[in-house]
Structure formats: structure tokens, C-alpha cells
């Protein structure tokens, strides 16, 4: 079975966009691959500088992915910071990474562009963690001989850079010491709209948190933007934000039935929102219960990650031993 690897950066609160756009596709991938998932806490350090915030995020993201379906008995689920071989490999790879390659990284270029637009020096406020982010990510991937890395289409550059770095390393030593990974782009991954119709994003403030209380979930859904059509008017389900969200949670029969009610008229937006709340709460309620149980026991979360980290280090140590020998360090 081929290997798939997914990094999970502990920043912010999980929302249903994360659930349908990242978590569920990653869980499906685990059905076909030997899957490894890691909490990318050192990646998070680039933007989260408050220790209490970082600890809280690590706990929340770990509990969230477990509640959503990760089975630590079937996959390797570990913490990036618990695998020091990651950072040793990053040091090795840095010696084979052209600075020009880092200059072309999307995140770095975007940060420079934002500074320039504000009339500031291009590198203002940009730390080396952000600049060398692709090297650490390449280390995360290459350390575990990953065959595929699931990413969104706008994130394929990270995998391409890992390919370039691994290729340069292998070429230098004349053998395939590092496996060349492939990006696994799932074309059918849902792009989840937010409460205002734009893509659901924390930066837009239009999210539905994945583990909201039942009452908070209902209040948020009732805020969903609609048009001014009255109750009696027929409505187009394909042009409805409420129906787009409804389809994420409802089964095909429910979707067909509600679409017919839209087109027939006689249903107001308030009733449509109630239907959305019903199916959303049906799916999210058991996840919410598991999450609350897990997040209340940080010790259990740490034990789960520790067991996964032991498995990860067993693999990582073999890679580092092979590379030390090849480079002449050992």
C-alpha cells in the first residue's frame, strides 16, 4: 500500500469548510493509503506567538480531527515537534535548496506584495520561518517516503518544491535516496460557501464553527444571506446559498424533496433555514459530543499523539540513518 501524508496546522477554530474541504477528503484517502497525519505545530509558530494560544490550538485541532473520524489505531497520528529527525532533515535539505526557489514561494511573494502595496519595505515583518517554510514542509514529506500528499489545487507548489529539492539531493549523490512525492489533488472536494456567500474563511468572518453548541449553530444558520423573495414565490435551489449548504449534509432523497418545495413556492427562507439546521445538527451533534469529551481530557490527547509519535520516529530514524551515511556525516 502506498503512503499518504497530511499536515494539520493548529491555527484557529475548525469550521465546516475545513470539515468538508480537508478532513473528509483526508479520511477518504486513508481508505486507500497507508496514512500519516501530523499536527504541524512548528509551522504554526510562524504566525502564533502566544504560547497559551498555541497550546489551545494544538489541543483543539487534535481533538477536532479525532472527533471527525481519525482512528489512531489505523493511521499514524503524531506531533511534528515530537520528531526531531524532521528538523535534522530540514538542515540537510537547506544545503540543496536554492534561495531563488524560496523567492518564488507563493506565501513569501504574497507577503512581499502586501508590504509593497502599503509602501513598506518588501521584507518588513517577514521572518525566516515563513521564508524557509517550503524546506520544512519538504522535510515533513520526504522524511516518511510519502508517495502522495493531498493538497488543494492552489497548494500544489509545496509538493512541487519538495520534488525539486529531493531531485537535487538525489542527483548529487547519484541514487534515489529520497522518494519523489506526488500531489494528490481531489477535484471533487467541496468548496464550502460561507454565511455571506463568499468562500467560507476565518478571514471573512463568515464561518460556521464545526463544534458550535446547538443553539449557536442555529443562530449562525439563521444569519445566512438570502434574497428578498416572499414565501409564495417559487425559488431556484441552484441559486440558493441555503440549499448549497443543505446539500453538504442531506442525503440525495432529502435534496430532491427540498428542491421540489423550493420550486413549488409556499416555503419561506426561515423554513429553508430550519431545514438546513435540522440536517446540519444531525451530522454535527455526535461530532460535537466526541469533541467535548476529548478536549476535556488533554492527557488522553497527549497519550494518543505520543503513541503515534513513537511509530513516526521509528520510520524517521531509518531515513535519517540512510541519509547520514550517504552524505558522509555518519
For the chain, give percent helix, strand, coil, nearest 5: 60, 10, 30
Rounded Cα distance between 41 and 43, Å, is: 5
321 catalytic residue (yes or no): no
Q: Which of 24, 179, 202, 300 is catalytic?
A: 202
Q: From the candidates 199, 219, 247, 325, give the one annotated as an active-site residue.
A: 199
Phi, psi of 194 (to 5 degrees): -90, 180
219 is catalytic: no
H or E element at residue 293: helix 269-295
Cβ-contact 220, 195 below 8 angstroms: yes
Which cell goes with 19?
A: 470539515
Distance CA 188, CA 244 (A): 15
Find the catalytic residue in 118, 247, 300, 321. 118
DSSP 3-state assignment of 252? helix
Please, are residues 166 and 138 in contact by the beta-carbon 8 Å criterion? Answer: yes
**Residue corresponding to grid cell 433555514:** 273
Enzyme catalytic residues: 118, 199, 202
Amino acid at each position: 500500500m502506498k503512503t499518504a501524508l497530511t499536515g494539520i496546522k493548529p491555527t484557529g477554530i475548525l469550521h465546516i469548510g475545513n470539515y468538508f474541504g480537508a478532513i473528509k477528503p483526508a479520511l477518504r484517502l486513508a481508505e486507500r493509503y497507508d496514512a500519516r497525519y501530523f499536527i504541524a505545530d512548528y509551522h504554526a509558530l510562524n504566525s502564533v506567538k502566544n504560547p497559551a494560544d498555541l497550546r489551545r490550538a494544538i489541543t483543539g485541532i487534535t481533538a477536532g480531527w479525532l472527533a471527525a473520524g481519525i482512528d489512531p489505531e489505523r493511521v499514524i497520528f503524531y506531533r511534528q515537534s515530537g520528531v526531531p529527525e524532521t528538523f535534522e532533515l530540514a538542515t540537510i535539505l537547506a544545503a540543496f535548496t536554492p534561495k531563488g526557489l524560496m523567492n518564488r514561494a507563493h506565501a513569501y511573494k504574497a507577503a512581499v506584495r502586501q508590504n509593497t502595496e502599503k509602501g513598506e519595505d518588501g521584507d518588513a515583518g517577514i521572518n525566516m520561518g515563513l521564508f524557509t517554510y517550503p524546506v520544512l514542509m519538504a522535510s515533513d514529506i520526504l522524511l516518511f517516503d510519502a508517495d502522495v500528499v493531498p493538497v488543494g489545487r492552489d497548494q500544489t507548489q509545496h509538493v512541487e518544491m519538495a520534488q525539486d529539492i529531493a531531485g537535487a539531493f538525489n542527483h548529487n549523490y547519484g541514487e534515489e535516496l529520497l522518494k519523489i512525492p506526488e500531489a494528490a489533488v481531489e477535484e471533487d472536494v467541496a468548496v464550502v460557501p460561507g454565511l455571506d456567500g463568499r468562500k467560507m474563511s476565518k478571514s471573512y468572518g463568515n464561518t460556521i464553527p464545526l463544534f458550535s453548541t446547538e443553539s449557536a449553530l442555529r443562530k449562525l444558520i439563521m444569519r445566512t444571506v438570502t434574497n428578498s423573495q416572499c414565501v409564495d414565490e417559487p425559488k431556484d435551489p441552484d441559486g440558493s446559498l441555503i440549499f448549497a449548504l443543505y446539500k453538504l449534509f442531506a442525503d440525495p432523497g432529502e435534496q430532491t424533496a427540498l428542491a421540489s418545495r423550493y420550486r413549488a413556492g409556499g416555503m419561506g427562507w426561515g423554513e429553508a433555514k430550519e431545514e438546513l439546521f435540522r440536517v446540519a445538527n444531525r451530522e454535527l451533534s455526535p461530532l460535537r459530543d466526541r469533541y467535548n469529551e476529548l478536549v476535556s481530557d488533554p492527557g488522553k490527547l497527549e497519550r494518543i499523539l505520543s503513541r503515534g509519535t513513537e511509530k513516526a520516529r521509528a520510520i524517521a530514524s531509518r531515513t535519517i540513518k540512510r541519509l547520514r551515511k550517504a552524505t558522509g556525516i555518519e
